[in-house]
Amino acid sequence: MISGTTRLYGLVGHPVRHSLSPAMHNELFSRRRIDAVYGVFDVRPADAGHVGRAIRTLGLAGVNLTVPFKESVVPDLDGLTAEARIVGAVNVVVRRSAEVGGGGGSGVGSGVGSGVGRPGELFGHNTDGIGYLRALREEMGVDPAGCTAAILGAGGTARAVGSALAGAGVVAVTFLNRTLRRAELACEQLGSAHPGCRFSAAPLASEAFTRCSEGLDLVVNCTSGDGASAVAGLDVGGLRSGSIWTDANYWMSDPPQLVSCAGRGVRIQRGMGMLVHQGAESFRLFTGVSVDADTVRGVLDLGGW
């Protein structure tokens, strides 16, 4: 039953009608007997500057964020985790609450670097990187230490994945993006935080991808929207057999290049595993209650996906 004390959570993005997050979180709330409900907020990109204020004004306990709001909300938050600060993007915002473990989870820093905040403050987290790493290790049996990677895109998800890979010991990461300067900024941003990893930038074009594809261990497609057409135009013939191509977009029925990669002996990975692991971490941050990946998978299966 929804009452006046029910905590409200949701997903903010555009578009979001395809999301599995409401069914996942609401089922978990029910199983754990948590008085909370999770919905979706399809917000026009032109209104991105109002999202942080809306979270405060409506008293939302927490939200997940997807494109195009992961970066625009950052200036309106009271604090960021270290990882969110490094990548400059968040996909989870939690309102600090004395009733739910101070906002759920550790490692939260305020705007002045303190680990202590006041009730009502909004803190930003980024679970994309940890979600990707956990899925890579679990589904593909890969320890990325010593690997080389190419990341398609340079937005919040791409930077989170790049930072996580660098932190896990990947020796080189190339960002390929339609706007080259955005890829260059991603390299500058992450390079200072991960001096042991070599970052480089290139345009998201077939010639540039061909130049960097030889010897790659990992390719992660983090593009969204019309980026799919640019990815479809790449020549994947230079990827070695046994390398891995991951597509982070779990909702796409036919992601570009998966069939071509599989036909060349490249191992392919869809984004559902990343969703499962970052979803489990989001739930912990929201509620202070841990759930394992198998539980989340079971919840998703209940919905018939």
70 is catalytic: yes
Burial grade of 141 (CB within 10 A; 0-12, 13-18, 19 or more)? exposed
Q: What is the edge-to-edge ordering of all strands in the sheet holding 244-247?
A: 198-203, 172-177, 148-152, 218-221, 244-247, 267-269
Please identify which of the residues 7, 70, 95, 134 carries the catalytic annotation: 70
The residues that bridge with 38 in the sheet, in sequence order, are 9
Q: What phi, psi does 225 have (nearest 5°)?
A: 60, -130
Whole-angstrom distance, CA of residue 238 vs CA of residue 126: 33
Identify the residue whose tokens are 């948590």. 34
Query: What does the DSSP assignment read for 111-173?
Result: TTS-S---TT-EEEE--HHHHHHHHHHHHH----TT-EEEEE--SHHHHHHHHHHHHTT-SEE
Residue numbers annotated as active site: 70
